[in-house]
Structure 1
Amino acid sequence: MILILVMEVKMMDNIKEKVLSNGLNVIAVQKKKLPIFQLSLVINAGSVDDPKGKEGLANLTANLIDEGTKKYNAIEIAEKFEELGTNLSISVDDWTTNIGIKSLTQNVEKSLELLSDIILNPTFPNEEFEKVKKRTISNIISQKSDPDYVSSILLSQVLYKDHPLAHPTEGYENSLLNIKREDVIEFYNNFYIPNNSTLIVVSDLEPSKSIEIVEKFFSKWQKKVLNIKQISDINYPKGKEVYIYHFPGINQAFVFLGSKGISRDNKDFNKFRIVNYILGGSGFSSRIVKTIRVKYGYAYWAYSRINGGYKRYNKVFEGSFIAGFSTKVESGNHAIELLLDEINKAINEGFKEDELRSAKSYYEGSIARQGQTYSQVANIIFNAKLWNLPYDYWIKDIEEIKKLNLNEVNETAKKFLPKDYVILVLADTSQFKFDLKGFDKVEIRNFKLNEN
């Protein structure tokens, strides 16, 4: 493990960064393991940028970006990448669009020629637009019978309410029907611009050489005035709210608790990671699993997790704390009580030394492995840039975690574990009757995933 750390820290010493004349921020790092060239283009264009009533537009735009250019149609693009042995990946999350390639270094120029054509010259053919939109709608409809999918969407709705984070990345059936080809073109023109993007390269080449190659193919990307859309603050729950959604015909209750967390740049972030690991983030050794699954046998899975939020145009959005499980309807109320009891015990009584030692040991091993793959290195670089952290921040995380004492961790549990939260229950309400007390609001609803 020590050897791995030394090698990865040394790699982070060989990073170069250059802002091209068009505003594109290019960061390159050398990883000599294999003759691989991996590129990740991260554009500030996520589902939070979807217009109201047209949720899913960012995702649809990204999924159409490789469906045709002025030179090639969709089939020709796919065939050319295949001939080069180059993998193209496209993904959209709440905040960003990520378009990447992984190529043999010997084929990098041909791969980048094709990739730059896709980014700079998409035509969004109407036939492909209709196909992709129809396929996305079909996928949404097919998942409406999946309680895991439904509960994850509904949790976002009740946790974030009117905030743009409340809707799924893929949008809704009705919102996609509202999207026209012209909307995709407008979204592309507004967001797919170099001065709204960061490009990260991890390859066996010298970083200066990687930047030189990128500049050759992306310098013609036209800079534009960036019309920044201000995303509103997240109004996390104040009080204790319960939303029970009727899902007919299932014999399980899917239960999730959501609340405000903290952001990655918070000085207590590593302490909160330890808190979450002990409480519900460590699988069978976590308190939530030991109680709900092992002791009572109520659930096959149970967990808690945190995310570090995001920073967009220097504005910080705090992350969330989520806990959840599924159980038989007859044990639903007691299992919810047990979850709340474990959270309250962590707040009021804290943790123990042996739990802290176990958490430290886990993070010392898991964080050290985070810089081994090309994708992991690119992710490290992006997070460092996003949060203004040193490129070896993940190594510093290990050092900080090793020095934590039990009092610091327990004080963090008191400070950040939820006192205010929403609880989502997805169940057949003809079988499940919520009978717990002490909540500010309890509401029963029928689920709708096609609302705008």
Structure 2
Amino acid sequence: MKFITLFIVTSFMFGCSSFSGSSFKLPKYKEVRLSNGLTVLLIKDNKLPSFSMQMLVKAGSSDDPVTKSGLANFTGQMLDKGTIKRNALKIADDLGQLGADFDVSVGLDYTIISSSSLSYHKDFLIDNFSEVLTQPLFSNSEINRLKTQTLAGIQNSVDHPSYLANVAFSSYLYGAHPYGKRSEGSSKDVKSIKKKNIIRFYRKYYRPNNAILAVIGKFDESIVDQLESGLKNWTAQKIEKENFPKLNMADSLQLQLVNKPGLKQSQIRIGEIGIDRHNKDFLNLRIANSILGGAFYSRLMQEVRKKRGLTYSISSRFDALKEEGPFTIATFTRNDKVGETVKATIDTLKQFKEKGVSKEEVEMAKNMIIGQFPRAIETSEKLAFNLLILRFYGIPDSYLSNFVANVEDISVADVNQAIKEHIDTNKLKVLVFSPKATALKQLRDIGIVEVKDYKEFL
């Protein structure tokens, strides 16, 4: 699970826009709808001879079938691995010859498909994008090759304890809910993925009425006709989404130890299920998180790192997703300091909730977030990405225009109310990724410990 989705959704400024004080004027762009139902955002930018396409498909790893974790990722990664016209090598070679790129990124809620080149190669980029999107072959040879690579990557995650701790914590926090699965899938599920599963997922979710396209850069009005021509055989279909299982919230402090012998340092994750993207306290919690663990001056850094010397780094974050995302505190420490670090972190969080934040802290956090704001759409591509994400979550463009003013309006009372409402220190889940031999006794001094083996998360 990826750990933050604060897009500006994080920060920004854009060359063609107007930004002064607390006002921000979005650059003009055009929205059209193709005959097949695809919404297209046309964002012209003639400053550089560049051209790019970004498509958001409204399906991510949370849409994986129960016993086929990794299917969304597999489907996305297979798009450019061969079409009915060209094999994977030819596609890669054609892109390389022109210095163009093509990339697919699969998240929990959605998939982003992107491609870019110099504007001189715009026609090729549109043709290539249309071909790999609408005519993927899903050959068995490429499926087997990708399966081998994916399984190797899953096994190699053993050498990255921080990442594997994140995987284990997602599973611990969400259980059977789709947010609890790793996007690459488990080894068992990946091995079971077959061509028919990929085709079924693709045909169900990769539809023009289930996607949004942004076209960015140097182009003229003929672009719409080119898109119509390239995507004319891509047809709409009613999308029936699966209902997610009900989230099971913790009812008390819970601890899990994932045994990984041989580690020199222990990974620690502490948190609970947080908010969805539409929650009224989204911005209030951004301020709160900056104060708690989202900046170098944060409470957690000052207490656990600077004062107690228990770690080199500790941070917190809220992931606001389509459904309630995680609130997570992440750190690492010496194996013999696991218990002390867990206690210090929870104590700091309790103080944070009970005593609240000060006006000085809120002003500092607001200034930091507003100061970061210009970077989020400093390029046309970043603007496009933010617009796609906002459209996906059903949030109006005015979120960008009013961002600074809305942050400036946040009061100390707003932040403290959000902290009290959304952080429950009595219902935290604590996961420690560490050798059992040294960690178990320390954790038993805190509470009842469930023990798992790291291999369960491969």
The normalised TM-score by structure 2 is 0.91
- Aligned residue number for residue 329 of structure 1: 335
- Aligned residue number for residue 8 of structure 2: none
Q: CA deviation at 1:304?
A: 0.2
- Aligned residue number for residue 436 of structure 2: 429
Give 2:368's aligned amino acid.
Answer: Y
SS state at 1:21 partner: coil
Moved more, 142-151 or 358-367: 142-151
CA contact (8 A) 1:254 1:326 kept: yes
- Aligned residue number for residue 124 of structure 1: 138
1:43-442 paired onto structure 2 within 5 Å: 43-205=57-219, 209-282=222-295, 284-310=296-322, 317-419=323-425, 420-432=427-439, 433-435=441-443, 439=447, 441-442=448-449
SS state at 1:285 partner: coil
1:367-424 C-alpha deviation (Å, 9 max, x unpaired): 1221112332122101221233332413412111112222221222111123322110
CA contact (8 A) 1:31 1:203 kept: yes
Of the two structures, which has the highest relative contact order with CA contacts closer than 8 Å and spacing of 6 or more?
2
Q: Determine the C-alpha separation between the residues in 2 that align with 1:232 and 1:15.
A: 39
Q: Determine the C-alpha separation between the residues in 1 that align with 2:306 and 2:357.
A: 19
- Aligned residue number for residue 31 of structure 1: 45
Corresponding residue to 1:446 among 445, 450, 453: 453
Q: Determine the C-alpha separation between the residues in 1 that align with 2:422 and 2:319.
A: 13
CA contact (8 A) 1:346 1:414 kept: no
Q: CA deviation at 1:14?
A: 1.4
1:22-70 C-alpha deviation (Å, 9 max, x unpaired): 2212122223332222211111221112222221111111111111111
Q: Determine the C-alpha separation between the residues in 2 that align with 1:285 and 1:450.
A: 34
Q: CA deviation at 1:351?
A: 1.3
Q: Determine the C-alpha separation between the residues in 2 that align with 1:301 and 1:346.
A: 18
CA contact (8 A) 1:346 1:410 kept: no
SS state at 2:247 partner: coil
CA contact (8 A) 1:151 1:426 kept: yes
Q: Determine the C-alpha separation between the residues in 2 that align with 1:37 and 1:415.
A: 45
Q: Determine the C-alpha separation between the residues in 2 that align with 1:302 and 1:329.
A: 16
Q: CA deviation at 1:235?
A: 2.7
Q: Determine the C-alpha separation between the residues in 2 that align with 1:387 and 1:119.
A: 23
SS state at 1:232 partner: coil
SS state at 1:382 partner: helix
CA contact (8 A) 2:273 2:326 kept: yes
Moved more, 4-13 or 192-201: 4-13
CA contact (8 A) 1:90 1:97 kept: yes
Q: Determine the C-alpha separation between the residues in 2 that align with 1:239 and 1:211.
A: 56
SS state at 1:168 partner: coil
CA contact (8 A) 2:168 2:457 kept: no
Moved more, 66-75 or 271-280: 66-75
Segments of 4+ in structure 1 off by > 4 A? 1-6, 8-11, 435-439
1:305-332 C-alpha deviation (Å, 9 max, x unpaired): 111112xxxxxx1222110110012221
Gaps of 5+ in 2: 1-11
In 2 relative to 1, CA 104–50 (structure 1 residues): closer, same or farther, beyond 3 Å?
same
SS state at 1:266 partner: coil
The normalised TM-score by structure 1 is 0.92
Q: Determine the C-alpha separation between the residues in 2 that align with 1:177 and 1:405.
A: 52
SS state at 1:52 partner: coil
Q: CA deviation at 1:258?
A: 2.1
1:99-133 C-alpha deviation (Å, 9 max, x unpaired): 11112222111111111111111111211111111
Q: CA deviation at 1:434?
A: 2.8
In 2 relative to 1, CA 152–56 (structure 1 residues): closer, same or farther, beyond 3 Å?
same
Tell me the matched-pair count: 442
- Aligned residue number for residue 314 of structure 1: none
SS state at 1:222 partner: coil
Q: Determine the C-alpha separation between the residues in 2 that align with 1:339 and 1:195.
A: 46
Q: CA deviation at 1:435?
A: 4.2
Q: Determine the C-alpha separation between the residues in 1 that align with 2:357 and 2:291.
A: 8
Q: Determine the C-alpha separation between the residues in 2 that align with 1:129 and 1:182.
A: 11
Give 2:311's aligned amino acid.
Answer: A
Q: CA deviation at 1:276?
A: 0.2
Q: CA deviation at 1:145?
A: 3.2
Gaps of 5+ in 1: 311-316
CA contact (8 A) 1:275 1:413 kept: yes
Aligned-residue sequence identity (percent) comes to 28
Give 1:418's aligned amino acid.
Answer: D
CA RMSD of aligned residues (A): 2.2
CA contact (8 A) 2:14 2:379 kept: no
SS state at 2:159 partner: coil
Give 2:172's aligned amino acid.
Answer: V
